[in-house]
Structures are given as structure tokens and as C-alpha cells.
Amino acid sequence: MLPRPTKYFLTAASAEGKTELTAFDNSLLAAGVGNLNLLRVSSILPPRCELDAGVVIPEGSLLPIAYGSLVSSESGSLIAAAVAVGIPADGDRPGVIMEHSGVMSAAEAKAYVIQMVEEAFEKRGVVLADVKTAAVEHCVESVACVFAAVPLWY
């Protein structure tokens, strides 16, 4: 059985590259998760998981992470990615993470993920105490990637 993460943080970054994959990789580096093996997870924040922006993760680690990303080679396009973490009033309940990316502004992406968090809490019948967000936008020059994520750690 895998251990349950106890820490999380939010990150968002964008980058250009020569190819779609290198643009994605460069955005991971800019977001501080580029030298980790990402294990994409669905969007549940474990109960009592604490925000820790200073968490240090050893390079090469397997990292559970919820993220949204978008790669585009359409020069001049504005692309964005955002994440939101919904924190329950009852710390014994799990939280919810929502992510989104698209051809839009960071403000639009952020509003969308907040709306999704609110809906998820309403559907679960859980009181929402707080929402944390991170968002990024980028005007594509050649090949670009936007990336917003919630890494989970131990």
C-alpha cells in the first residue's frame, strides 16, 4: 500500500521549446518539478494534508501530482492553465483539486477551476472553507506549454 501524502503545494509556469515535448519539459523545469517522475493522480487532497511551499523533493522521486497543461504551436495564441484546491471546513474530510487549461487568459482559467471546486463540494455536501489557486498564461511565440499543478508529498 502506498502512503498517504501529508503535504502539498501549488505551482504554475510556462515555457517555450523547439518541440512540443521540450516545451512541456521546460515548463516542468520552470514549475520546479522537471527532475521528478510525475504520477498523475485524480483530484483528491488527502484529509489533513498541509500546504508546504518549501517542501524539498529528492530528484528522481515518484511524485503524485494533479495537473493541467496545454501545448500550442499557434503563434500569437494566449494559452493558460490553472489549478484550485478546495479545503474542507472539517479537516478530517478530503479536499478537492481541480485543474484546467485552454485558449484563454489566466483569469478565465482561474475562475473556471474555482467554479469546479465549488460544484464538487456542493455535490459532496461538504462545507468549503478555503480555495487556493495557481494560474499561468502565455502568449505563444513558437511552441509553448502552460502547466499548473498540485504536487502531493509525504
Active site residues: 37, 42-43, 99
Measured between alpha carbons, how far is 16 from 79 in angstroms, rounded to an integer?
12
Cell numbers that stand for 134 in this block: 495557481
Asked if 116 and 128 count as a contact pair (C-beta separation under 8 A), the reply is no
Picking from 50, 30, 7, 10, the residue whose alpha carbon sits closest to that of residue 145 is: 30
The distance from CA 113 to its chain's CA centroid, rounded to whole angstroms, is 10
Q: What is the CA radius of gyration of the chain?
A: 15
Query: What is the three-class DSSP state of 58?
Result: coil
Residue whose cell numbers read 523533493: 57
